[in-house]
Amino acid sequence: MALIRSLLFVPGNRPQRFAKAYNAGSDLICIDLEDAVPLADKNQAREQVQAYIENQRDICVRINPLDSEEGLRDLEALAKAPPTVIMLAKCQSAQQVEQANRALAATDCQIIPLIESIAGLENAKDIASCDNLKAMMFGGADMASELRCAFSYEPLLMVRSQLVLAAAKYNIDLIDVPFIDVKDEQGLLEETRKVRALGFTGKAAIHPKQLAGIHQGFLPSVKQLEFANEVIAAFEKSQSSVLVIDGKMIDKPIIEACQRHLALAQAAAKDGIGQLKE
């Protein structure tokens, strides 16, 4: 499965930006038909996205909530000629994922449920257990509003931790909310490293200039990479699921973590990203 370290949002009513976003270097772009598009522009934006998909399917499209008329129109339209991924805004339950799966049954389109409400959080494990998920994503702004807390890392740590548990239980990727201060490159890097340490596998972006920081933030440390190379070399040589390196027992979970670290390093190398000097 291809890594999704970064997901770049682009407004659905700005078709002139679609190709630019696609070529910006993110692992996946997400054309937004929800919050970024005013109600008066919804129909036109939907048509513009459909036109773009005719030539480029390898994208994600965030549709409006399925408990709204616009969301149902989005799903009906995209089911006829879908992108590779559809994001369900304000996903509340497993039933909504199943509803989307039924509409997309004749396609190969996958789903990213966006968890951004208390109801969605309460049902996160059921949502994560659904078939045909590409990943799950955390939506922080709406969640913070419902919780009456600040939209910052510490107040939302409890929510992030619960989503990590849900996603990890079913071994699906988990994408974090965008860092909204586009000018604060150090803040982006620090938050990306925090969510990676917590168990997130990717982070969304609202501007192409954030991609390098996100990819850097998901790059393992020098020590982690050195250890991963040592473990994987020993594993490939012995083909045993249990190894002993420097007197320490190395079993399957550690081997899998090392494989993830090397995959992240390989992806960063393709991007031309190296280790920062700390």
pLDDT mean by block of 10 residues, the chain; 278 residues: 89 97 97 97 97 97 98 97 98 98 96 98 98 97 97 97 97 96 97 96 97 93 80 78 76 78 80 59
- pLDDT, residue 278, reads 45
Pairwise CA distance, residues 126 & 142, whole Å: 20
Q: What is the CATH number of domain 6-217?
A: 3.20.20.60
Got the DSSP string for the chain? ----SEEEEEETT-GGGHHHHHTSS-SEEEEESSTTS-GGGHHHHHHHHHHHHTT--SSEEEEPPTTSHHHHHHHHHHHHS--SEEEETT---HHHHHHHHHHTTTS--EEEEEE-SHHHHHTHHHHHTSSSBSEEEE-HHHHHHHHT--SSTGGGHHHHHHHHHHHHHTT-EEEEPPPS-TT-HHHHHHHHHHHHHHT--EEEESSGGGHHHHHHHTSPPHHHHHHHHHHHHHHHHH--S-EEETTEEE-HHHHHHHHHHHHHHHHHHHTT--PPP-
Phi then psi for 189, rounded to 5 degrees? -60, -45
Beta pairing class for 243-245 and 248-250 = antiparallel
Rounded Cα–Cα distance for residues 268 and 6 (Å): 12
Number of Cβ atoms within 10 Å of the Cβ of 276: 10
- pLDDT at position 275 is 57
> Domain residue spans in the chain?
6-217, 222-270
Q: What pTM does this model have?
A: 0.89
How many Å is the maximal CA-CA distance in the chain?
66
Q: How far is CA 226 from CA 55, 168, 229, in A?
A: 42, 25, 5
Give ∠ CA 233-239-242 in degrees, rounded to 5: 90
By residue count, the chain amounts to: 278
Residue among 212, 192, 195 nearest 271 (CA): 212
Between CA 33 and CA 92 the distance in angstroms is: 18
The pLDDT value recorded for residue 260 is 81
Contact indicator for 7, 27 with CB cutoff of 8 Å: yes
Residue whose tokens read 């369900």: 88
- Phi (first) and psi of residue 225, to 5 degrees: -70, -40
pLDDT at 19: 97
Give the pLDDT score at 48: 97
**Nearest CA among 174, 176, 78 for reference residue 134:** 174
